[in-house]
Amino acid sequence: MFIRSTPCLIRNFRALPFGQLRSVSTTKSFDYQTDLQKVPIDKIRNIGIIAHIDAGKTTTTERMLYYSGLISRIGNVDEGDTVTDYLTQEKDRGITIQSAAVTVPWNQHRINVIDTPGHADFTFEVIRSLRVLDGSVTILDAVAGVEAQTEKVWKQAKDLKIPLIAYVNKMDREGAGYGRTVKEIVGRLGTRSVLVNIPYFMQDKTTKEMLFKGVIDVIDKKLLVWDEDQDGLIGDGRKVTVTDIDTAETARPDLYKQCKDARQSVIEQLGDYDESIIDAFLVTEKYMNVPSSIIKRALRKATIDRYATPILCGSSFKNIGVQPFMDAIIDYLPSPIDVDPPDVISSTHLTHSRKSRNKKGFKNKTSESLPTCMDPKLGCIVNNDKHLTTSLAFKVTSHPNRGLMTFVRVYSGKLQPNSTVINSRNGEKVKIGKLLIMNGDVPQEVKSLSAGNIGVITGTDEISTGDTLISHSSSKNVNKIPKKEASAKLLPISVPPPVFSVSIEPTTVADKRKLESSLGVLLKEDPSLKLDYDEESGQMILSGMGELHLDITKDRLINDMKVHADVGKVRVTYKETIICPSPEVIKRVDATDGSGFFKISLSVDSFEGSAENTDYFNGEDDSECHPLEYDNNLIVFDKYAAPDFVRKALTNEDQEWPLSINYEHLMRAIVSGVTGALQVGGKIARLPLHSVVVKIRKWSLPIEATSAAALNQCTRLAVQESLGQLAETSFTLLEPLMRISVFVNDEDLGAVTQDLMSARNAKITDIDEQDNSSTGQDMVWARDQAEKTYIPYDPTMQYIKESQTGGKKVINGEAPLKDMIGYLPKIRSLTKGRGIYDMEYERMQRATPGRVREILEQ
């Protein structure tokens, strides 16, 4: 814990310069920038805070900054003055819209925290944040328990094998249920629980109600009670009364028993995982005598191995329980050297070989995995080169004074300011400026970013989300980096498809340039936005993840960027596809340099489902498959599609490349040509084509060619001509199909189900008890585990309202997005305000002819 073991003590927690030391001893002052740079890699924690909306993520982050001494006053979400919610829209709406990074010093450690949004429309912010984290904290509302978005973000973290701890917040509220929430964590999220602390209640002298006042530290056997100020109001959380429970067996038998019972559950849970716990218990056969250090060591290992989840509780708004929560981040979540090194591949090829792909989908012949290992002092080392620096750009944002800023996670080596890096996506050399760490929107310049750290690159607009940056830790000259290392790539960040769109037009012709440049900035910041051009109407179509997502984007565009534009109503994003293959077309275009002509032959077909699940992607022949960035489209190259001299050069490493144009540029020309043609759209509504495969039979070029521009044009014209030979009846519309979960009380089940099936065209897949909403063998285990999970006595449960105690059901199914628009007021009406729902994109579904007419008429 963060206090000294004493029988009874009152301690004022000062804002110490390097975090709150556990001994509360005096520390020497230090320079924030310099000392943080000296923190060794094993004392770094890269963590995210994830949760359902309004669980208290930003409120908790604000307290972390306050107790670490970085701010002198606690901001309030409702007043719009928190550090991490700094956008105007975040202040006005009281919600987190984009992930914000802060660096917090605590107990001689450096905690890099990313506070993420809780609203489903901003799922991409969570996805790209989790991609660069080593551990994560899930915050839960003690009244609401596990909510829809809680399950979603938990699964996202679990899929990335990120260790988690849970913090049950808002324990001061009426209806808060710690025990109920713990059981939901186990039963619905599918994890074992270890109660690091449990709530402590005191009876109000006036109302006689039991009020949440502190926590019982189960592992260190301490009672911590956060004191109020002299007027009986909420204190700032620095004054805590500490009681040693070990010495209170006679004076406080109830307190001693609570701690003993909880400790027994911890030891028995961890005993199945780590025999050292059982060995320590057998020495005296007393649960209270097992050393705290042994329990913490076992729990840390169990957390990192994702065997169990430490659970803590508190009330961040009331400033109760935050310091133990921060201690738990250090004690149980991993440092960068405690996790597996990242997968790194060296790739100079844009396509995938279906026959020879490795487990990550990269082509083995021209893409190979680079060896990685963990050094206890240096962190990750790639390709046995301790100076090779690899960084992943996971976010780009615009600063009013510093311009575009790129957030990066440094995985190996050391990133130097004012140096040159190689963007391995395109091989371009990029000059970068200063390096920063951020506290909300406040930058702090640093001299370098070492392996395991998160920071910001300034001075360039040539980096996009998902790019891997390669440099040398001791030299600013990247020309000497071997080609294999210069083309190294970390696994990219996947972008979910947008499902809503709006039309945008400049108010006047004079406003067009500013509109386009401002949209360019927004697209750079947020890759989950997508911009298309309607050539017939001249409108720009902006697509996003949801109605709120686009509303916020519109607000930023018009109010923050001062753009004069007319924005249409939010509508569902539809696509087109073909229902029969197009004829093969041969196209020829003269080279722009007069060297000869480019030639290509191709046809177009379609498929259903995800591109990665098709035979095109997973077949056994030697053709090569390239998934396009947008719209679930593919390019498939026949085995002998390339000219003979190109194939020979690719397969013979000793042969000199015969062209002045490198192979990557040729492939990009073909990809760009296909993408441009498919974006022109189909014959029903000129909507971009989705779920199609362009099959390239043969392509050729003059060996003297110096530019690939004609290959781009040739490919684009060939695709357009091939599609142009299809009749309009060969096209159909695709509409977004959503996976839905609707949570209702028993008495509302019939009305809600009827409305879903009749008015929403939903297909119900199952109806289950809410606590048993997941299925499968894993969740059978989880339900059984939840039944056996120990929970402490919770006096506040008696205050739960009658409407909260009835049986609850979850209706799972699929429904077209179009029919789910405006569903929230409907479900509230059907359930008297008690029902809630969650939905997420499942796939694009082909519309029936009748449905096509209905969509076109709207």
Which residue carries 């004022």 as its tokens? 12
The closest alpha carbon to 545, from 127, 88, 56, belongs to 127
Pairing outcome for strands 414-415 and 449-450: antiparallel
Which residue carries 């189900």 as its tokens? 753
Exposed, middle or buried by CB within 10 Å (0-12, 13-18, 19+), for 158? middle
Residue 119 marked ligand-binding: yes
The β-bridge partners of 685 are none
Residue 116 marked ligand-binding: yes
Q: Find out whether 462 and 421 touch, Cβ atoms under 8 Å.
A: no
Residue 331 marked ligand-binding: no
E-only strand ranges, 144-209: 164-169, 192-195, 197-203
Residue 82 marked ligand-binding: no
Which residue carries 């988690």 as its tokens? 164
Residue 458 marked ligand-binding: no
Residue 848 marked ligand-binding: no
Tokens in use for 840? Answer: 């997420």
Residue 682 marked ligand-binding: no
d(CA 339, CA 317): 33
Residue 727 marked ligand-binding: no
Pairing outcome for strands 197-203 and 210-217: antiparallel
Q: What is the DSSP letter of 673?
A: H
Please give the angle made by the CA atoms of 396, 400 and 406, to the nearest 5 degrees.
Answer: 20
Q: Find out whether 845 and 816 touch, Cβ atoms under 8 Å.
A: yes
The closest alpha carbon to 312, from 210, 220, 236, belongs to 220
Q: Find out whether 90 and 97 touch, Cβ atoms under 8 Å.
A: yes
Residue 58 marked ligand-binding: yes
Residue 53 marked ligand-binding: yes
Longest dimension (CA), the chain: 97
Residue 101 marked ligand-binding: no
Residue 844 marked ligand-binding: no
Residue 737 C-beta-side C-alpha neighbours within 13 Å:
14
Core vs surface per residue 469-495: b (16+ CB within 10 A) or e = bbbbbeeeebeebeeebbbbbbbebeb
At residue 627, φ and ψ (nearest 5 deg) are -75, 130
Residue 61 marked ligand-binding: no
CA 246 vs. chain centroid, Å, equals 42
d(CA 857, CA 820): 18
Residue 683 marked ligand-binding: no
Residue 169 marked ligand-binding: yes
Residue 115 marked ligand-binding: yes
Residue 55 marked ligand-binding: yes
At residue 744, φ and ψ (nearest 5 deg) are -140, 160
Residue ranges for the binding site?
51-58, 115-119, 169-172
Residue numbering of the annotated binding site for GTP: 51-58, 115-119, 169-172
